[in-house]
Amino acid sequence: MISNTAVIYPNVVLGKNVTIEDYCIIGLPFEGMKNEKTIIGDESVIRSGTYIYAGNEIGKRFQTGNKANIRELNKIGEDVSIGTLSVVEHRAIISNRVRIHSQAFIPEYTILEEGCWVGPNVVLTNALYPNHPLTKKSLKGVHIECNAKVGANVTILPGVTIGANSLVGAGSVVTKDVGKGVIAVGNPAKVLREVDY
């Protein structure tokens, strides 16, 4: 089902049984675009007010909340959910079964591995030198490994890796890598103990 208020650009390829609700714009052109297609997999649900730019490759059973904004040239796997008012900038890699909750910010060059969980109001960063002539040349995305969980209102600094199966507690500011299978909390975040479940 595609709403008659949705705008679907000609470069969009939709799978079977895709739902696109009111006032969505799918396949928005971007600066420097070279006929990139936007692909959205079967049984996806794009909720009202969502904008998806051109050049995204999105797998089956994708879902957005209302007014999600997904910039160009991302690779998004199957069974991914991106919550209401979340922003995914360009050239991110989001693997299967990733859950991004409401109002999260996912910048360029982020890597989210399979099954990871990003809580509401999480801010990932990528600018080592903000508002500097070298900013764009020195961007480093956050890397969240398989099944890691990032609690609400966490901020993670550029280039930081969160290890597989780890948990970052709500409100933490993560300034350096977190190993695999541990709980990290605080500002700056420090390892508290190993995950015991």
DSSP string, 19-39: EE-TT-EEEE--TT--S--EE
Whether 197 shows a pLDDT value over 80: the answer reads no
DSSP 102-169: TT-EE-TT-EE-TT-EE-TT-EE--BSSTTSTTTGGGB---EE-TT-EE-TT-EE-TT-EE-TT-EE-
Q: What percent of the chain has pLDDT over 70?
A: 99
% pLDDT > 90, the chain: 89
State the average pLDDT for the chain.
Answer: 96
Choice between 128 and 174, residue whose per-residue pLDDT is larger: 174
List beta partners, residue 187: none
Q: How many CB atoms lie within 10 A of CB 84?
A: 18
Residue 18 is encoded by which pair of tokens?
Answer: 């895709």
What pLDDT sits at residue 134? 80
Q: What's the pLDDT tens digit per position in 81-95?
A: 999 999 999 999 999
Cis peptide before 188 (omega within 30 of 0): yes
Q: Whole-angstrom Cα distance, residue 152 to residue 172?
A: 9
In this prediction, residues 142-150 reach a mean pLDDT of: 98
* Amino acid letter for position 145: E
> Which residue segments constitute the domains of the chain, with CATH numbers given?
1-76 (no CATH), 92-197 (2.160.10.10)
Round to the nearest angstrom and report the end-to-end CA distance of the chain. Answer: 41
Between 34 and 115, the more confident residue is 115
CA geometry: angle at 118 spanning 101 and 73, to 5°?
85
Better-predicted residue by pLDDT, 130 or 95: 95
Other CB atoms within a 10 A radius of the CB of residue 6 amount to 17
